[in-house]
Structures are given as structure tokens and as C-alpha cells.
Amino acid sequence: MKHFIRENFFPIKNDVNIDYLINLLGEDILSSSVLNNFKVIDISSLSNTRDKSILFLEKEINIEKIKSKDIHVISSSKENLNHYKSISIVKNLDKAYNIITNHLFFHDDYQNMPDEYQYLNGSYISKFSKIDKSCNIGKNCFISRGVEIGKNCIIKNNVVIKNSIIGNSVIISDGSCVGTTGFGFDFNKRGSIHLNPQLGIVIIEDNVHIGSLCTVDRGKIDITLIGKNSMIDNMVHIAHNVIIGKNSCIAAQTGISGSVTIGDNVTIGGQVGFAGHITIGENVIIAAKSGVTKNIKDNSVVAGFPAIDMKEWKKNIIRQKKHGH
Amino acid sequence: MKHFIRENFFPIKNDVNIDYLINLLGEDILSSSVLNNFKVIDISSLSNTRDKSILFLEKEINIEKIKSKDIHVISSSKENLNHYKSISIVKNLDKAYNIITNHLFFHDDYQNMPDEYQYLNGSYISKFSKIDKSCNIGKNCFISRGVEIGKNCIIKNNVVIKNSIIGNSVIISDGSCVGTTGFGFDFNKRGSIHLNPQLGIVIIEDNVHIGSLCTVDRGKIDITLIGKNSMIDNMVHIAHNVIIGKNSCIAAQTGISGSVTIGDNVTIGGQVGFAGHITIGENVIIAAKSGVTKNIKDNSVVAGFPAIDMKEWKKNIIRQKKHGH
Amino acid sequence: MKHFIRENFFPIKNDVNIDYLINLLGEDILSSSVLNNFKVIDISSLSNTRDKSILFLEKEINIEKIKSKDIHVISSSKENLNHYKSISIVKNLDKAYNIITNHLFFHDDYQNMPDEYQYLNGSYISKFSKIDKSCNIGKNCFISRGVEIGKNCIIKNNVVIKNSIIGNSVIISDGSCVGTTGFGFDFNKRGSIHLNPQLGIVIIEDNVHIGSLCTVDRGKIDITLIGKNSMIDNMVHIAHNVIIGKNSCIAAQTGISGSVTIGDNVTIGGQVGFAGHITIGENVIIAAKSGVTKNIKDNSVVAGFPAIDMKEWKKNIIRQKKHGH
């Protein structure tokens, strides 16, 4: 279920070859070597290499699997010249990513995303979406191109769904926004025109429940995933590239930062926060209001900010009380 | 004002007697004794027993007042056999509740909730709602069956109101969702198909103000209540079965967990969280960002996580500072 | 860009002179002296004095610049009798403000705000708004009178925009509500009928990005400002009268309390809270989950609650850990 056809969601704006795209970067190119001037139809990530694509690499890294495909690497690390035959070195990788992907793809943070809607029973539904007839969809919803929704789902009212593939028996409650834009941009050149195009999607597996007024940002290049049977309360924010395992339970007002990975059977209290890019093991319990700053091992029970073993946290509380009297 | 007719919000799906419902549970029934095979039209709770209803009891408890009514008890505690003459003992109470209530009632977490809407001045309004003509209702709202709204209320734009009775001079600001589904489910068998049907309502008394992008979940069996003159800021989450007294003030991004009871004249800062099922007295002040884990007495002023007397909390902060230099 | 014509957003309800308005206050007037019985068309604040206006003053303060304009002062401090020739002293300033401004202006927390809408491409757009043709506006949006939106903006779906002037290349993502009512009311007489009319606007400068499900409350008398190039993540709450500088970055679920001023180039993590009326300098970094209770100097890096220098905070954490083992 984790594969998707990018073009279904982000139509290709311009049919161009590698050479053309490199030319767009102008003086930002420090050096360039093109093995095969293929027509570019996709972008790759470290975990998902795709044929006829560009891979943007920040650090030095040698990926064997890209060598069997038509992939051109763009990197800000000259060390990568040792690894790849089709590669361009650029001054600013964020800028290169933005210029190239904005030229290649339509997306909803740029003008004139092409789509067509039907007004069906009070909601705007893209003609290019696939929604099973067994679904119940409320009023004032917006469902855009490429979205797929499986059987027996309930999409309540005033819900926005974009760039998402949704399984069976999923409930998305009133006012939630799924497939929205992740918070990725050139940190040193802020502003909406420096947004990194977010060209991935959200995958929601069977039987997931999403409460009211939640946001689930789509992946930047790959996916944001909510695993089977997971229960999400109201006002939960799930950032881009987050992977949530099966049978998770996340209470209200918790926020999960970008690229966090959460294992199966995890229970998370309300108002919890996470540092980005960390990994939470399986069967973990995280108390309400925790701030999780590091990876958490399987079967842990943590609390506090920074989150520590719950027994230690309770001891600290008791010690503080003693000192206080 | 605290009474409501469940069928106005959750129409009865099937006309069935006690025997029929017990049969539905099949092998999950351990023992059963039916005093009067009445037609079931309602469900009861510990605090509100209703005639011709089923009462689901987790623990052993002897309630005198049910004996004067046609109430069949379903319990997972065999001890209750000593107390009631019309009773079934089941293996899993959550499962029994789900099977029986899904069979009895339509609700919005199941397919095909029956309702009919008029598109009035830009909003979808159920033909089975009662809204005073003096109300102002904005655009892109959704108001479903059974909802009652009193005089001189202002419902702004993109507001969702379901399963609610609203008094006079109430303001509900843009994007808020009232009467939404509470976060109740079989904790050991997660997923939207294991949601416990939420069959209660929200009651909002006169002169309440609800800010933008708030969620107020309806009660599970009884009500969620926001008392007269209460002021709720933006992005406040109020969970199912919460009771908030009169003249309360709740600042932005605070979340109130399920079944919390809050007295009159309480002032709560922003980003506060509460453990479930606790009681906050009258005239209490709770500082911003507090995490309230226990009952709080009348007239208390608390801060911190876990929330303690504010003077103690301030002493702790000062002591920490001293140690830090 | 910081000036606005109040009447564009809040039409004048009644053409009345100072004497008439003072009469409305009845027995709440303790003393009154009117220099020039002008027709009132505006209200002033300490920082913006406007001709033909009323200025509500809580404390004793002597403002030279009002003496060149037609401004009548209403104050609860008798000391101000020494400073102004056109002045009324009242028992309760909140009450006087509410009575007078509700008589003078239409606004959306009172019945029958006059406006007219076109249903354009799936959204309700006021005939009295000015939106550049280059903008993309999604479905189920609501844009009310007076709103101005510059070039190349993207307003996504289910967005509410009221009382706002928006620059060029601004993105406002799905479900956000901008220009909503601030949380200002008579603290001792709660309830929506005691709301202080919020008669200011929101100004959003060029190239600002606002994520999904955010709220930006308008100023009470003046403005709420989000400076150029600022990046706001999802579910951020920005209260009334907040001033945010240029190039700020605010992560998800942070809440900024009323009248907070934030300098340029500030970076704020997720789930941060602020006390009201404080000032944050330039180039400040505030770690996630901080509670900022005091002014912060330029170039500071702070963390914790109450927020302190991040190095100190980290030392405290390490010390706590040591004690814990």
C-alpha cells in the first residue's frame, strides 16, 4: 500500500530533460556531469529510488541501488562526486530543489493547480479522485485530485482531504485537514516563496479513526503514514514524513514533528510533543504533556520534559515536593 | 435544561425487545435473566436511569432507583447478579455496548445516519433542527438533526453543530465543531470499528462564548455541559462528559479530558491539560500550561505539572534558580 | 501598511455626537466635560490617536498628541481630569467601552453585521472585499467585508478571512481562521454579552505563510500584525494585538497571548506559550514547549517553563538526572 503514482496528485507541469533542469539552476551549479539526458518524471528519496528521477542529497552517501536506474543526483556535497556518474553539485540544495520541483510539478502551494470538481451532495469532490460508493461524505468537504478512499469510510463535515490514499472503514471527523502542506522551507530565507514543494502523500490504513480539527501533513517526497487501527483524538497535528504504526492511540492536542517514526501499539497522552526525526519503539506508553526529545526503546513507559522513564519522573516529582516543605 | 430526548438526535434503528438484543451477543453472554421482555428505546447511565432502557455496568454497584423502572442491566461483574433481577453477564462489556447500541441507534460514526438538509443562506441546516429566527448563522456551516438553538445566538462561519442544545445569546466562532464524537473505544481492540457509540449530547447554556476552532465532544450516554456565561477562547478541546460550571473562563489551547467536572467561576490559563475523571472546585484559578492530575479544592490557585499550590510552585522555581548558579 | 479605515470593516451603525454617547452611559458617568460636541466616527488607542474619536483610558496618562485633535477621553481614573479638557469619568470602563462601541459600530459579535456575498467558484466572497485577480482561492471559504488580498496569494480551502489586509504572495492553508474575535471581555462579568467589541484588524505582510487550522485574532482597536516572510506552522494561535516581526518562524501548536510583541528573525518551537503583554527581542530562539513569562532580550536562546537561558535549562535537567540516580 505504500507506493503511489506521484503524477496522480502532482501533475507534471513541463516535459523536460535533465540538461534543461540543470540549466535552470544557472550560476548555482558548481559542477555537473550527466550520464544520460533522460526525461525527468519523478523525484527520489534515500529510501525510495525511482526511475527517471532526480535525487537531492545533502550529505555524502553512497547508494548502490540508484546505479541500476536513470537517476541524476543533485548534491551540495562535493564528496558525492566520488560515488555517482550522473551528478550536479550546487551551492544551495534547498534552492535547487525548489527551482526544479516547481518547474516539474503542479502542487497546491503554487498558482493554478489543475483540478476539476463536482459539487456532490454539498461537497466539492475532484473528478480525478476515486471514492468507493459505500462511503458517507458530509457537507462542505473538499476532496482533491488523486485522492483514493476505500470502502465504508465516513468523512464527516468541513473536512479537507488532499494528496491521500485512504483504506477501508476509516473515519475522519469534522473539520480535519488531511494531506496538507508540511512545514519545510529554506530556514535561512524564510517566506512562503521559499517553501520546499511538498510532493508526497498521506497514507491512512484500514480502520483508522481521526478526530475533529486534526492536521495530517503529507510527506515531502514520500509518505506520511497512519497505520491500521490507529485512533487519533481531536486537534492532533501530524507533520510531514511521520510514520505511525498499527494500533496506536494518540490523545488530543498532541503534535508529532516531522519525520518521527512511531512503532506499533503505542499509546500517547494528550498535549505531548516530539522532537523531529526521532524513533519511538513498539508498545511504548508516553504520558500526557511529555516532551519526547530522543529515541525511545520498545516497551518503555515515559513521562516529563525531556521525557524519561516514568518511575524516575515520579521520583523527581516526589523529591521536589519534599524540598518544597 | 439537562434533559434531552435521545431519539431526536439518534433515531431508533430497530424496534427490538431485550431478548432479541441479548441474542445478538451470542456466546459473549455468560448468564442471563430477563424479568420483563420490554421493547428497548433508551440507554441508562449511573446518574440517569431511564425507563425501557439498558444499563451497562462495569463494576459491582447496587442502584435502588432502577428497580422501579423497566431497565435491563448488562454487566461484566457477576457480583451484580446479587443486585438485579433483570440482568445479563457478558465477557466484554465494551463489545456488548457496541453491538447493542449500534443495533438500536443511528449515529454519525456508522453508515447512513438519516437526516435531511436545507441549504439556507450558505449553510446546511437539518430540517429536524429548531433554530430561533433571531439567530445569525454564517456561511459553510453544518447543523444536523435534533439541534436546538435559542434566541440571539451568533453562529459564525464554517461551524459544525451536531447533537447539541444551545441556549440564548450564545456565540460560536468560526471553524468550531460542537457535538462531535468522543474518544471512547475498546482500548484493547483499537480502530474505528471498535468505537463506542457516543449517544449523548452537548448542552450549552445562555450567554456562553466559544472561540474559533474549538471542539466540544458530546457525552457518551448523558451530556457534556458548558455552564452559563462561560468564556472559551480559541482551540480549546472539551472532551466527552465534561461538565463546566457557570462563569468559567478557559484560555486558548487548553484541553479538558473526558468526564472532568469543573465548578463555577473557574479561571483556566492557556495550554492547560487535565487528567480524566477529576473534579475541580469552585473559584479555582489554574495557571497557564498546568497539568492538573488530581481533584482541586474550592478556591485553590494552582500551577505546574503536576499542578500544585501556586505559591509552592513559585518557591520550587526560585529554588531551582538558586541551585542553577 | 499599518493604517486602515475602520469603517471598511466595521460600518458605523449610528451617526451620533459625543453628548449622545455620554447620555447612553447614564448613571455610570461620574463627571463629564465636553469641549467640542463632535460627531464620533472612530476610536483611539494610546499608540494611535485618531481625529473625531473617543479614547478609553484605564490609568492616569498624559498624552500630548491628542490635544491637537477632536478626541474625547473616557476614563475610570479621576487623575486624568488634570490632563484633558474633554473627558468623562466612568465607574466601569469596560462597560462604557461596550455600550459606546456597540452603539457606534457593526461587528460580527453583534446581530446583523451588514455584508453582501457572491458565491464565486465555491466560496463566499464579500462584494466589499478587494482581492487581486492573480489569487487562487479554494472551496468553502468565507471572506467578509473590507478584506484586501494582494497579488499571487493562495487561500486554500475552508478558510475564513475577516477584518484583514493581506499583502502579496501570502499562503493561508486549509481550515485557518484569520481576523477572528479576540478573547477580551469584562473579566468580572463573564459571558458573550460582555465581550469587548474587537474593532481592529489583522495585517499580514508579503510572503507570509500560515499553516492549516490556525487562528489569528484581530486587534481590539488597532492591529494584529504578522511581518514579512514569517512562517507559521499548523494549529498556531495568535491572539489580539500581537505584533510579530519579519522572518519569524513559529512551529505547530504554539499560542501567542494577547498584546505580545515579537521582534524580527525569531524562531519559536512547537507548543510554546507566552504570557500576555510581553516583548521578545530580535533573533531570539525559543525551544519547543517553553512557557515564556517575561520579556526576552535580543539574541537570547531560551527554554523551559518559565523560560530561561537554554544553557541554564540544560544544566537544571542534568542536575535533576544526577539527583535521580
Tell whether C226 is covered by a domain: yes
Please give the backbone phi and psi of residue A189, each rounded to the nearest 5 degrees, phi first: -135, 80
Question: Is C176 within a domain?
Answer: yes
Instruction: Name which of C124, C140, C254 to mutate to probe chain A: the one with the most chain A Cβ atoms within 10 A of its Cβ.
Output: C140
Burial of B136 (0-12, 13-18, 19+ CB in 10 A): middle
Q: Kindly state whether residue A50 falls inside one of the protein's structural domains.
A: yes
Buried b (16+ CB within 10 A) or exposed e, A137-150: bbbbbbbbbbbbbb
ipTM over 0.95: yes
The last residue of one of the domains, among A54, A82, A104, is A104
- A16/A155 same-domain check: no
- The count of structural domains within chain B is 2
Measured distance between the N- and C-terminal CA atoms of chain A, rounded to whole angstroms:
57
**Is A50 in the same domain as A149?**
no
**Do residue C133 and residue C282 come from a single domain?**
yes
Residues of A marked as catalytic: 240
Residue of A121, A133, A156 to mutate, interface with B, max B Cβ within 10 Å: A156
List phi, psi (to 5°) of B39: -80, 130
Please say whether the beta carbons of B71 and B54 come within 8 A: yes
**B128 in the same domain as B42:** no
Check whether residue C229 and residue C187 sit in a common domain.
yes
CATH classification of the domain holding C214: 2.160.10.10
Per-residue pLDDT of chain A (325 residues; tens, 9 = 90+): 478 999 999 999 999 999 999 999 999 999 999 999 999 999 999 989 999 999 999 999 998 888 788 999 999 999 999 999 999 999 999 999 999 999 999 999 998 899 999 999 999 999 999 999 999 999 999 999 999 999 999 999 999 999 999 999 999 999 999 999 999 998 889 999 999 999 999 999 999 999 999 999 999 999 999 999 999 999 999 999 999 999 999 999 999 999 999 999 999 999 999 999 999 999 999 999 999 999 999 999 999 999 999 999 999 888 877 765 4
Residue C324: pLDDT above 60?
Answer: no
Closest CA to C216 of C197, C199, C203, C229: C203
Q: Which of B134, B140, B252 sits opposite C142 (nearest CB)?
A: B140
Indicate the SS3 state at residue A93.
helix
φ, ψ at A296 (rounded to 5°): -125, 130
Q: What is the pLDDT of residue A41?
A: 96
Whole-number percent of chain C with pLDDT over 70: 98
Domain that holds residue B24: 6-104
Chain B residue numbers touching A173 (CB-CB < 8 A):
177, 180-181
The CATH number of residue A27's host domain is 3.40.1390.10
- Bridge partners, A211 (sequence order): none
Chain B residues touching C109 at Cβ < 8 A: 154, 171
In a domain, C324, yes or no: no
Q: Which of A53, A79, A104 is the last residue of a domain?
A: A104
Q: According to the model, what pLDDT value does residue B325 have? A: 45
Residues A96 and A125 occupy one common structural domain: no
CA distance C324 to chain A (A): 6
Quote the pLDDT of residue A324: 57
- Asked whether residue C255 falls in the same domain as residue C303, the answer is yes
Does some domain include residue B51? yes
Question: Touching C: which chains, 3+ CB pairs < 8 A?
Answer: A, B
Query: pLDDT tens, C272-286?
Result: 999 999 999 999 999
What is the distance between the alpha carbons of residues A53 and B246, in angstroms, rounded to a whole number? Answer: 61
The alpha carbons of chain B give a radius of gyration, in whole angstroms, of 22
Q: What is the mean pLDDT of chain C?
A: 96
Mean pLDDT is lowest, of A95-104, B234-243, C56-65, C242-251, for C56-65
Q: State whether B151 and B251 are in the same domain.
A: yes
DSSP C151-188: TT-EE-SS-EE-SEEE-SS-EE-TT-EEEEPP--B-TT
Q: How confident is the model at residue C67 (pLDDT cuts 50, 70, 90)?
A: confident
Task: Report the chain A residue with the minimal C-alpha distance to residue C271.
Answer: A273
| CA C93/CA B202 separation, integer angstroms | 35
Chain A residues within 8 A of B142 when measuring between CB atoms: 138-140, 157-158, 174
CA distance B300 to chain A (A): 18
Region C61-67 average pLDDT: 86
A41 exposure class (CB count in 10 Å sphere: 0-12, 13-18, 19+): middle
All cell numbers assigned to C8: 471598511
B-chain CB neighbours of A252 within 8 Å are 183, 215, 237, 239, 255, 257
Residue C287 Cα, gap to closest chain B Cα (Å): 15
Identify whether the C-beta of residue C102 lies closer than 8 Å to the C-beta of residue C108. Answer: no
C63 neighbors C86 (Cβ within 8 angstroms): no
Q: Measuring CA to CA, which residue among B200, B303, B177, B173 is closest to residue B258? A: B200
Residues 6+ away with beta carbon under 8 Å from B66 = B44, B49, B55, B73, B84
Tell me which of B72, B194, B240, B277 is the catalytic residue.
B240
> With contacts defined as CB-CB under 8 Å, which chain C residues touch A187?
249
User: C-alpha grid cell for residue C53?
Assistant: 474619536
Q: Are residues B252 and B138 in the same domain?
A: yes
Q: What is the pLDDT of residues B233-277, one digit of tens each?
A: 999 999 999 999 999 999 999 999 999 999 999 999 999 999 999
Instruction: Judge whether A320 lies within some domain.
Output: no
Neighbours of chain B (3+ CB pairs under 8 A): A, C
Helices (H), B72-189: 93-104
Residues C167 and C25 in one domain: no
State if pTM tops 0.80: yes
Share of chain A above pLDDT 90, in %: 92
Q: Which of A74, A104, A134 is the last residue of a domain?
A: A104
Do A176 and A87 sit in the same domain of this protein? no
Q: For residue B319, give the H/E element and its range.
A: helix B310-323
| Residue C44 located in a structural domain | yes
Per-residue model confidence (pLDDT) at position B40: 97
Statement to judge: residues C165 and C32 lie in one domain: no
Which segments in chain B show pLDDT lower than 50? 1, 325
- Pairwise CB contact (< 8 Å): B154 & C108: yes
Flag whether pLDDT at C325 surpasses 60: no
Report residue B21: phi and psi, to 5°: -65, -40
A10 lies in some domain: yes
Q: Do C324 and A305 touch (CB under 8 A)?
A: no
Q: Quote the pLDDT of residue C65.
A: 79
